[in-house]
Amino acid sequence: MPPEAATARPLVMADVAARAGVSHQTVSRVINGHHSVAPQTRERVQRAIRELGYRPNLAARALVTGSTRTIGLVSVKIDQYGPAQTMLGLESAARAAGYSLSVSILDEATAVAVHEAVDRFVAQSVDAVLALSTYDDAAEALRQFEAPVPLIAVQVGGGDDRPAVGVDQETGARLATRHLLDLGHRTVHHVAGPADSQEARARIAGWRAELAAVGAPVPEPLQGDWTPSSGHEAGRCLAARMRAGEPVTAVFTANDQMALGLLAALHEEGLSVPRDVSLVGFDDLPEAPYFTPPLTTVRQDFAELGRRGVQLVLARLAGTDLHPDPVPPALIVRASTGPPAAPAPCVGARGLERPGC
């Protein structure tokens, strides 16, 4: 056996300090992300860590510092694009801050399930817990729960005693509605998300507020459930209204997936987007530019949402009172919207009278 193998031992922080020519305390500060280290010294320590292949002993560090550098994330219904992207944004921001993200995905947003998930994270000695859900049951569970670590709500309305971070859903809905009104549409129809979703209700509120601001009629919204199939059903319903003489020329759907289903239904009914009906979605799916036609939509900045969520966690851990502003959305205009068709006597496919006739 080679002599070096007989004396081999795990690398320790003192080995890094010797290689970098700094103190043990300086290495510790670099590993723990302290800002009191000069950039050149930090780079020298990080280079020594890379060269030696040193891996910090997280368990030992937790015993010394009282911190596991881990944030727990409780999420519900991660199958939709928005929650999935929010989770990725949080993980990226946590990693950049030197934390790992431990995830618990629940099948149901019940108070019992949320409480049990938070309790499990507390038992694992996480530094803080993020709770991601826009559904009423989960939001109510968070309001009633007192955790021994910072508990931060994401995409759920907070309060003075429960900090939260989210995208400004009402402003996003108002942007979508205003865009259609500015194109000359008399009013805008809406396909809403689930009734128990706070995000969906905020988008309804923004849509109604923008219509009210200009005195436009407020049609009865159609109920969806975020899925393309519910958007397809809404599209068939709107086509039936058009056959009955209702002038439907512009639609705002509460997410892009329902917009996709609605596009398919209108096409089946012989209607063209945007010639007959202009359409705006919400979320800006990666596929949205490749819909037929490319979809005008409201983009949520999930990376920024993750950054602000982790920023809020770090502030609470430091004992700082921080209430971040909502993340602003952005309107992305593509080919699915245009001015309403000029009034003219015409009949579309399947005998469906077009808007304005």
- Name the token pair of 56: 């910090």
Residue 51 pLDDT class (50, 70, 90 cuts): confident
Report the distance separating Cα 140 and Cα 144, nearest Å.
Answer: 6
H/E run at residue 121: helix 111-123
Q: How is domain 3-56 classified at the architecture level of CATH?
A: Orthogonal Bundle (1.10)
Residue type, 63: L
User: In the chain, what percentage of residues exceed pLDDT 90?
Assistant: 51
CATH topology of domain 68-165+302-327: Rossmann fold (3.40.50)
Q: Are strands 297-299 and 330-332 parallel, antiparallel or unpaired?
A: antiparallel
Domain ranges for the chain? 3-56, 68-165+302-327, 169-296+333-351
| Cβ atoms of 138 and 153 closer than 8 Å | no
Among 142, 152, 83, residue whose Cα is nearest residue 110: 142
- Asked if 3-56 and 68-165+302-327 have one fold, the answer is no
pLDDT in tens, 64-76: 555 678 999 998 8
CATH topology of domain 169-296+333-351: Rossmann fold (3.40.50)
| Cβ atoms of 91 and 121 closer than 8 Å | no
Residue 58 has pLDDT above 70, yes or no: no
pLDDT in tens, 318-345: 888 888 889 999 999 999 999 998 764 4
